[in-house]
Amino acid sequence: MGMSRPHKYQLHVAEPGRATALAPEPEVETTSGRSSSVIPQVPQRAQRGRRAAAAGLALATLFLAGCTQAQQRGFMPGRADGQEVTNQTERITSLWVGSWTVLVLVGLMIWGLTIWCAVAYRRRKNDTGFPVQMRYHVPLELMFTLVPVVMVLTFFYFTQRDTREIEMHVADPDYTVNVVAKQWSWDINYVDQNVHEPAGIQSFATGEVDAEGNDAAADSLPTLYLPVDQTVEFRLDSRDVIHSFWVVDFLYKKDMFPGRTNSFQVTPTTEGTYAGKCAELCGEYHSDMLFNVVVVSQEEFDAHMQELRDQGNEGQLGVDLNRNQEEWSMREKHDDAGPRYTEETASTGTEGENE
């Protein structure tokens, strides 16, 4: 017992020109006295590879589960509590995060293969001459061509799919807002209610804070009110140069051109105050061209519309008005804003210095 019995068949060397039959697998006698065929064992290297892959998957799962809200949305702007600001922010974030996930995986694979090739096929100490040279490798060249084409076409499909949904216009939006850009502020018209916000005036306190540490420009910025869960159509015009209407947390911006009206539609889904700015360099005080968007309940929105009527802000502020809607010059704000660029300051070299 415990010893291998002789094989039932012996291996014979075939004579030239004659075929031979393969011998059966050897049998091993077990402790019970029965014989059984030898079962091939999985190589330890393969087992270690599977364990490493499982461990990597588990670590990746734990890593993703521990991500903050900002990390999960790819560090895109948004609310700290993770709530979607509009009906399109989730779609935009998913496209952004999905694209970068694929790009990172492809990049890691390429870098990994590059480093592996550099290490595995490095020149050894005793190597002489040159390695075998290959003039072409058809399967490899096909892969290098087809894989990038498939990737680009895949990105194109998802991009055009989401762009089509984001730019879709419904026939009858709930509200229509006309925003007129000007150097360097905004005029806001509520078309359906035939009222407007007070004419926007450039903020001269951009970047400054008050005694309590709050943004000093916040109270003087133009403010646009929107009702929550209502589809709003924005009609965008410019009085002077190219501007760009950008509500940061909406993850969307649209250029504004003189003589052309652009439009888009969006449905705000979460109440709150959101910062907006011009996203196109439009002149000397481009950084002062800020505004706020306040998403409120329907009751608050209706109350604000009535407040504008009571203030006498009826009608629309159109593109035919002068840049600032009021007869005053930016240069007259010298005392409020500090020295500006003039012939006098240019000659003395003191432009831009605070008094």
pLDDT tens string 181-215:
998 899 999 999 999 999 888 776 666 666 666 66
* Distance, CA of 20 to CA of 23 (rounded, Å): 9
47 or 126, which is more confident? 126
How many CA within 13 A on the CB side of residue 84?
14
3-class SS letters over the chain: CCCCCCCCCCCCCCCCCCCCCCCCCCEEECCCCCEEECCCCCCHHHHHHHHHHHHHHHHHHHHHHCCCHHHHCCCCCCCCCCCCCECCHHHHHHHHHHHHHHHHHHHHHHHHHHHHHHHHCCCCCCCCCCCCCCCCCHHHHHHHHHHHHHHHHHHHHHHHHHHHHHCCCCCCCCEEEEEEEECCEEEEEECCCCEECCCCCCCCCCCCECCCCCECCHHHCCEEEEECCCCEEEEEEECCCCEEEEEHHHCEEEEEEECECEEEEECECCCEEEEEEECCCCCCCHHHCEEEEEEECHHHHHHHHHHHHHCCCECCCCCCCCCCCCCCCHHHHHHHHCCCCCHHHHHHCCCCCCC
Q: How confident is the model at residue 137 (pLDDT cuts 50, 70, 90)?
A: confident
Residue matched to tokens 């504008």: 308
Angle subtended by helix axes 138-166 and 89-120, to nearest 10: 160
* Distance, CA of 249 to CA of 254 (rounded, Å): 14
Pick the range with the lowest mean pLDDT from 80-89, 215-224, 230-239: 215-224
Q: How confident is the model at residue 259 (pLDDT cuts 50, 70, 90)?
A: confident
CB 265 within 8 A of CB 300: no
Q: How confident is the model at residue 285 (pLDDT cuts 50, 70, 90)?
A: confident
Q: How confident is the model at residue 150 (pLDDT cuts 50, 70, 90)?
A: very high
Per-residue confidence (pLDDT) for residue 207, from 0 to 100: 63
